[in-house]
Structure 1
Amino acid sequence: MKKGLIIAAGIGLLFSACSKDYLELSPTSSLSKSNIDKISKYSPHLGEATLNGLYAYNVKVGSGGTTGHDDFGQKGYDIYTDMLTGDMNANQLKYGWYGNINNFNGTSNFTSTENYKGWRFYYYEVILTF
Structure 2
Amino acid sequence: MLKVLARPMLSAVFMTSAWETLKDPAPLAKHAEPMIERYRKVLPEWVPTDAMTLVRVDACLKLGAGLLLAAGRMPKVAAFVLAADLVPTTLVGHRVWESGDPEERAHFLKNVAVLGGLLASI
Same fold per superposition (TM over 0.5): no
Task: Determine which structure has more spread, i.e. the larger CA radius of gyration.
Answer: 1
The two structures have a TM-score, normalised by structure 1, of 0.29
Larger relative helix fraction = 2
The two structures have a TM-score, normalised by structure 2, of 0.30
